[in-house]
Structure 1
């Protein structure tokens, strides 16, 4: 009994330490995530307001406006992620579930990253099984799931690497989607951190592109709202595979339609 109590106490202490670490990382990361793009917006918009004092070439005006637009878009993305995870954790997140073609949604998600993959010199491959059935789900939320995971795979895959996206049917009418990259990979502990809201495997502030650490937790929560599961398989230095399993439309009884 005493041994069990000690084990339980130790486990609780480890969980508390991890929660404290994640919270500290979140506060530090949010400060950087919000201040950096805000400084961009404030700095370059101020330069534009001084156009009457120093005539700016059209090329510079377009460049400043583009930087402001990108920074504002990043801010909006961070805010939306925070709102999404807050709704999910409070149980107020709902799905607009209906019959959808998951293959078309996945194809559109992959296509949206073609340019990003090309600029990063990463080969993005897509294979879709011809026998996929329609499933019951929320098209917008499914697109968000695929976008979050593909984006994450590309971010952590170095130049000349690969990201392979495949989709196949299951015997029960469901779908299994695999998103495999040849990136840096993760340890088992790092996988746990990556799936924790606001957690980041690398908390270095120089890696702004990693975002708020909400992409994977949101994707996992949305998959589970669809009655499915998200599994990460990875080894340090040998890439990561995200496996999304979505049930068939005839077996989804837990997914409610909110219209």
Structure 2
């Protein structure tokens, strides 16, 4: 969020309309779950869908049966002119019309769960009627035909009829069996009465074809049932993901809104508190310095000094909170210019030198010469170095040593590394000290406790510069803080060193 955005536009607004979408999606999730869990084996929950697909198949393939009947009749008349195929054709067309009429009527109704069974039996009855028509064809004979041509014709037609019926009724479970059992019965009766080997063979062939196509139709039915189950489960998962995503987005918006409100509150309160604090600091300094005359009681002078020190500590805390809140609110602007990290580091060392001497701490400088300037915010970089140096002085024991390094990184950028020989930080506490208001166990026990905002502010400032902050520490060995600016910030760019040289330089610089 840029600083130029107004207060009204940069506020995160929760999308209230998502609640209505959530309700609809949740309703779909519940319906799908109830649908999948309404049966123990899960095979009957899709009966309505399978029946609907069967109805659509009948309506879409309504012209196939009349064409087939016409073709069978024409070929049959050619093979056996004396056959009564015209009557059979008329009966088959009437039976087919009944089936289509039943499908059209069912398609116009909203079939309830209770009515699925009734409609299924109606369509099975229609299949039986169609099977009776095929049984009439199976009873056709040709006394005047020579050879076995009529038997081959009848067998081919029956095989073709079985296959067409199987493909058209596999959505209706056991539809093929109900449709061709009358035909098998008619063929079996003919074979028993005639005991002709061709009749027996035709019966066996038709029965085998019926069993085979029934197996194929049943496999297709189960496959479609499985696919519909997978599709339903997929829809269920998608709906649940949509609900989870919607809830996550809303929670994130609320969190961002609360965080932004918190940052604005802190920034506003910090501004309001600094005004009276400046007056407190000014008057307490005047009193402790006895500018307007000596104080009659020395205790008052001591109290005024305590007031000034406490006010200064509170002002530093407010300034850090203000900086962090401005950064979090996206209103921390950089005033970038050309500056030398070497000069900034020297000035900051001079500012903490007096405090370091009070603890008999030695500050060693290891600067690489002829470093080109960088493009950065001088005030921010001073704040980074002062925060790191103040922490180093705070936690370095009496007579300790602090090392400040400034130089090149392996990627062509520049770094500032500050290492102390203090108590160090346990490895598991490093993420804690890098979080806002976080303090390690050593800092909590220290007499010079801070606010826990210094390192988060350093991280944020370096992030604004596209840089990086690294904190390395070992218990009882000390801590090293490294602030890195990328090569894009260096005004006089240099190529990155070779990998072997980079490893050696990093070992020498960060050891």
The two structures have a TM-score, normalised by structure 2, of 0.37
1:226 and 2:465 matched? yes
1:198 equivalent in structure 2: 437
Tell me if the contact between 1:133 and 1:169 (Cα under 8 Å) persists in the aligned partners.
no
- Cα root mean square deviation, aligned: 3.1
For structure 1, the 5+ residue unaligned runs are 1-37, 49-53, 253-259
Per mean C-alpha deviation after superposition, the further-off stretch among 143-152 and 93-102 is: 93-102
User: Which region of structure 1 is more displaced relative to structure 2, 145-154 or 84-93?
Assistant: 84-93
1:177 match:
416
User: What is the alpha-carbon distance in structure 2 between the residues aligned to residue 225 and residue 138 of structure 1?
Assistant: 10
For the residue of structure 2 that corresponds to 1:112, the secondary structure is: helix
2:384 to 137, 141, 145: 145
Correspondences of 1:1-259 after superposition (within 5 Å): 55-57=296-298, 62-170=301-409, 173-202=412-441, 207=446, 209-249=448-488
CA-CA distance at 1:86 after TM superposition = 1.2
| CA deviation string 1:157-179 (max 9, x = no partner) | 11121111010124665211110
Q: Distance in 1 between matches of 2:445 and 2:489?
A: 47
Return the alpha-carbon distance in structure 2 between the equivalents of residues 182 and 87 of structure 1.
33
Change (3 A) 1:234 1:172: closer
Q: Deviations over 1:184-237 (max 9, x none)?
A: 111222111110000110387664622110011101111111111010111111
CA 1:242–1:206 in structure 2 vs 1: closer, same or farther (change >3 Å)?
closer
- Whole-angstrom CA distance in 2 between matches of 1:207 and 1:240: 15
Partner deviation per Cα, 1:131-185 (whole Å, 9 max, x = no partner): 2110010000000000001111111111121111010124665211110000011
Structure whose residues are more often helix by fraction: 2
The higher relative CO (CA closer than 8 Å, separation ≥ 6) is in 1
Tell me by how many angstroms 1:63 deviates.
3.9
Greater radius of gyration (CA): 2
Give the direction of change, closer, same or farther, for the CA distance of 1:113–1:201 in structure 2 (3 Å limit). same
Is 2:417–2:480's contact at 8 Å kept on the other side of the alignment? yes
CA displacement, residues 116-138 of structure 1 (integer Å, 9 cap, x when unaligned): 11111211112221121100100
TM-score with structure 1 length normalisation? 0.71
CA distance in 2 between partners of 1:236 and 1:230 (Å): 20
Q: What is the deviation of 1:67?
A: 2.6
Q: Secondary structure at the match of 1:93?
A: coil
Count of matched residue positions in the alignment of Structure 1 and Structure 2: 207
- For residues 36-73 of structure 1, the C-alpha deviation after alignment (integer angstroms, 9 at most, x for no partner) is xx9xx8xxx7xx7xxxxx9224xx55544333222111
Distance 1:195 1:171, change over 3 A: closer
Q: In structure 2, do the counterparts of structure 1 residues 56 and 67 end up closer, same or farther at CA, with 3 Å as the change threshold?
A: same
Q: Which runs of 5+ in 2 are unaligned?
A: 1-276, 288-294, 492-511
Contact 1:133 1:174 in 2 (8 A): no
Q: 1: CA distance between counterparts of 2:490 and 2:348?
A: 25
